[in-house]
Amino acid sequence: MTKLYRASWIFIVTLLLSAKAFASDPNWEAARDVVAETTESIIELMQDRTLLRDENRTELQSRIETIVTPVIDFHGFGRGVMGRFARTATEAELDRFADILKTTLIRTYSLAVSEFAVREYSITPPRAPSPQPDMQVVNVQLTSTAGRTYNILYYMRNIDGNWMLVNVAVEGINLRLTFQNQFADMFQRARSVSAVIDGWEERVARTIAEVVEDVEG
């Protein structure tokens, strides 16, 4: 066996062993399982088309809230959106902002899923392990009944043993970064964290509408 052939063989074996080791990464698999379970629950929920009726919109939001609330870190998401302004916010302001984010996101998500019929989904493993074991990215491809596929990145963090969503990117649009820019812009105008929170619900509704429009192209 020549030195070149031996070196090539060792290189290939090393790659295969590394791939096998990563394929069984318990951190990514645990985060993936949370995303998959939540996605399947939403898809199952949407099989009940009666929930799409206007008179049942409150029921739809309530049931979606039951599914997603345990897996979203609204406080962490809120701090990320506030960015540097979170350092000067009071605990009461942080709590209030988390509550408003929860309400607006669930309301908007309910509207989105009611208009987007999912036919199937798949999850693509990352090419390399995360440099931070307690932070994982789960890449999901959702295919609608119309045949269009959307790429979604779920950013998951291990918080006290539970994998929680802390950010999401849809078709390359980073939601937390988009919100963070909006928050900074509003603060420059209002010069008050409390004032930004007061006007956030209306502003975020417009922002999400813009994101949806960009994604749908």
Whether the pLDDT of residue 156 is over 50: the answer is yes
Average pLDDT over residues 68-95: 95
pTM (2 decimals)?
0.81
> What is the predicted pLDDT for the residue at 4?
44
Q: At what angle do helices 91-115 and 193-216 cross, to 10 degrees?
A: 20
**22-31, 69-78, 176-185: which has the minimum mean pLDDT?**
22-31
> What is the predicted pLDDT for the residue at 91?
96
At 21, the pLDDT band (50, 70, 90 cuts) reads very low
At 181, the pLDDT band (50, 70, 90 cuts) reads very high
Best CA proximity match to 124, nearest among 105, 149, 141? 141
What's the chain's average pLDDT?
84
Class of domain 26-216: alpha beta
Average pLDDT over residues 111-126: 83
**Distant-in-sequence contacts of 204-208, Cβ < 8 A, 24+ apart:** 204/101, 204/104, 204/105, 204/108, 204/179, 205/104, 205/108, 207/178, 207/179, 207/182, 208/104, 208/108
**3-state secondary structure at position 2:** coil
3-16, pLDDT tens digit by residue? 444 444 343 433 33
- What's the CA gap between 206 and 92, in Å, rounded? 25
At 87, the pLDDT band (50, 70, 90 cuts) reads very high
**149-153, 168-172, 177-181, 205-209: which has the minimum mean pLDDT?**
205-209
